[in-house]
Structure 1
Amino acid sequence: MKFLFASDSFKGTISSARTAELLGEAAGKVFPECRWESVEVADGGEGTTDAVIAALKGERVWREVRGPLGNPVSAYFGRIGENKAVLEMAAASGLPLLKEEERNPIQASTYGTGELILAALEDGCQEIVVAIGGSATNDGGMGCLRALGVRFLDQLGNELEGCGADLERVSAIDRSGLHPLIFQAKFTVMCDVTNPLTGPDGATRTFGKQKGGTPDMLNRLEAGMENYRRVLERTFGVDVNQIPGTGAAGGLGAALFLFLRAELKSGIETVLDLIHFDERLEGVSVVVTGEGRTDWQSAFGKVISGVGLRCQKKGIPVLVLSGGLGAGADKLYGYGVTSMMTAVDGPMPLNEALERAEELYRDAALRMFRILQVGRQLT
């Protein structure tokens, strides 16, 4: 019997790699003759770069870039082989880089993300994958593109800085200085939201509040984003509101799609393709996956549903071992999942469950494999 372990990280408690070690330990006790392999998996959010680096034996390449408010931060991209790179925009322009009281989508910029993309290009990478979850910004991607050589101009021809406040001021776009290495590269954007750039479901109205936007700020940003959308339409002849996902990361999705000709793809599907997940399924009897909490959202572009659907195509059963199960978790049975278990073994406060996460997970893994052993004996 051969197992493949492919869990997401249990954020704040157990890493993806550690779940595999614990599962391997438990599997060996119940099935001494078994073989197992593991692969770190992420869905395009936090931890995606590290998961791909670990799975493909890549390396971190560090650079100092501008943070969302212009302060210097250390960020890295993952270099995979000779010419591939994967990076998370949140590493340079993400909410985790700011204290709650510092969040300000009027002033925040994606400039550092552009610097990180440029670093990958100058390092010789020609296939670049960008995960755009967790942004602190609402600048339409202007900061990012400015770092790559694009000039955003006001009505007098003055160049703008490229932050949220400039959305209402932009009148024209000069693309003549776009870095030449961009034209030799292929870009993929990991994007699991379908929001348009503007409107009630757009970047500002949907995500602006969590980035620190007050009602007055959001009204100003939405008006500015609508002005920006019109400028983009004049420049490219495309209404980005008709393209799902262009509102992701405060409009960075629109900028990467238009200026870099990037393909917008599901995060988990992109990760699974990058790590050659289908090839890893050869000869596997059972796959075990999981995450910190599994509920209805897990069926939409998350690790469990992505892994489940890939396994379903090959007829491989999938067991889920998660920290907890929430409402709607049963939807996953339609996504290739065979059975689900929780690590928590009784009522307890959340802080206790977090403190005992590894112990609880280890015990639950043993229970899961023992149940699997019963099924094998019955067969």
Structure 2
Amino acid sequence: MGTKIVIAPDSFKGTCAAGDAARAIAEGWASVRPDDRLVLRPMADGGEGTVDAFAIAIPTAERMRVRVTGPAGLPVDASWLLLPDGTGVVEIASTSGIELLHNALRPRDASTLGFGQAIRAALDHGVKRLILGIGSSASTDGGIGALTALGARFTDAYDVSVPPGAAGFEELAKVDLTRLHPLPEGGAVVLTDVTNPLTGPRGAAAVFGPQKGLDPDQIARADEGLALLATLLGADPAAPGAGAAGGTGYGLLAWGARLAGGAAEIGELTGLPAAVADAAVVITGEGSYDGQSAAGKTPAYVAALAREAGARVAVVAGRISADADTHDLDAVSLTALAGSAEAAMTDTQAWLRAAGAQLAANHREGA
């Protein structure tokens, strides 16, 4: 049997999901070195591709189809993943994610209701534990939509349910948690790659509101609404990650879930350290590899595991910036291969295959 190669990229956001990227790199490598043993471990940080990462790493997992209410209030066909040990994996990206809006942002009324409906479907199925990815949210509702799907009631002074999204904060007066579904017996872990608090200058509205379409006045009002939510739910608004996904991290924290760093948690849960332990080469990657990539992003986590195991490290990226540290790894830029960023983004998978082939051609046994 040939050399063991582990391929563990993050998604190339907007152009290629992590699972597709891993497969394309593997195809390129195999075209040059067909006898090598390729192990695919696509990565995610809690955002898009979280369910796919688990599905590829754990082939016996079962996709459970579900129709939910999307962030714009329209039906969305999605799925959650049932792992062999009874764990349910649900992501916000495919149920209440910003990509589902197709650039038609809904800053005031986008909701996490669909995410909560998918969680409820997993609970109704009888899962023993939940893994919840909350990256790529479309809304700033503090998780009100998700908690509503789980049985909570958020009402105005007249006991009427508040409108969806950030708009609901302006009428919010009371919270009733008496019918809130309990956590499964094994609890719930929430995966996020940010540590922002719920409110304030580093909070959900101030930092992430603009990318979801909130203007300065709406940001201030949403921040006030999130502060009100904190007084009603009682969890710690300063907890790291409480501001993730428009405050959904806080809502899930109030439910009793645990917040955790996405990449490292997913790596542990999908068995990446064990896969890397006896690998000769480990290939990771992301859309843009820059100076910040070495400070906690997915490639940094994967590279650290590889170095600890004594494996060679390779990075494939859409672009590699001048401030990126590539001194001890093989780095391939799709932009350089394709001749331009536009060309690389037009057919990303084709250039990923080319990158895989180039890395394989450069590889020498024992080098």
TM-score scaled by length of structure 2? 0.89
Matches within 5 A, 1:156-175: 156-175=158-177
* CA distance in 2 between partners of 1:361 and 1:73 (Å): 30
* CA distance in 1 between partners of 2:355 and 2:247 (Å): 42
* CA distance in 1 between partners of 2:21 and 2:338 (Å): 24
Q: Is residue 194–residue 246 contact of structure 1 (8 Å, CA) maintained in 2?
A: yes
Q: Is residue 16–residue 41 contact of structure 1 (8 Å, CA) maintained in 2?
A: no
Aligned to 1:87: 90
Aligned to 2:230: 229
Please tell me the residue identity of whatever aligns with 1:188.
V
* CA distance in 1 between partners of 2:200 and 2:40 (Å): 43
Q: Is residue 43–residue 301 contact of structure 1 (8 Å, CA) maintained in 2?
A: no
Question: Which runs of 5 or more structure 2 residues have no equivalent in the other structure?
Answer: none
- Deviation per CA, 1:287-324: give whole Å up to 9, x if none: 12223331123234432112112223323231223332
* CA distance in 2 between partners of 1:363 and 1:176 (Å): 56
Aligned to 2:339: 348
* CA distance in 1 between partners of 2:177 and 2:353 (Å): 55
1:75 to 78, 90, 94: 78
Which of these two proteins has the greater Rg computed from alpha carbons?
Answer: 1
Please tell me the residue identity of whatever aligns with 1:278.
P
Aligned to 2:22: 16
**How far did 1:148 drift?**
0.6
Please tell me the residue identity of whatever aligns with 2:243.
G
DSSP-derived class of the 1:81 partner: coil
**How far did 1:344 drift?**
4.2
Aligned to 1:187: 188
DSSP-derived class of the 2:154 partner: strand
Matches within 5 A, 1:358-369: 358-369=349-360
**How far did 1:271 drift?**
1.4
* Percent of aligned positions that are identical: 35
Distance change in 2, residues 1:328/1:149 (3 Å):
same
Residue 27 in structure 1 maps to residue 33 in structure 2: yes
What is the root-mean-square deviation of aligned Cα atoms in Å? 2.4
- Deviation per CA, 1:13-40: give whole Å up to 9, x if none: 5532222221222234xxx5x4333322
- Deviation per CA, 1:19-69: give whole Å up to 9, x if none: 2221222234xxx5x433332222322111112111101221111111113
* CA distance in 1 between partners of 2:339 and 2:311 (Å): 34
Please tell me the residue identity of whatever aligns with 1:294.
Y
Matches within 5 A, 1:73-152: 73-101=76-104, 103-152=105-154
Q: Is residue 106–residue 221 contact of structure 1 (8 Å, CA) maintained in 2?
A: no
- The alignment covers a number of residue pairs equal to 360
DSSP-derived class of the 2:66 partner: strand
Please tell me the residue identity of whatever aligns with 1:291.
E
Question: Which runs of 5 or more structure 1 residues have no equivalent in the other structure?
Answer: none
Distance change in 2, residues 1:344/1:73 (3 Å):
closer
Range 49-58 or range 36-45, more displaced = 36-45
Distance change in 2, residues 1:183/1:43 (3 Å):
closer
Aligned to 2:247: 251
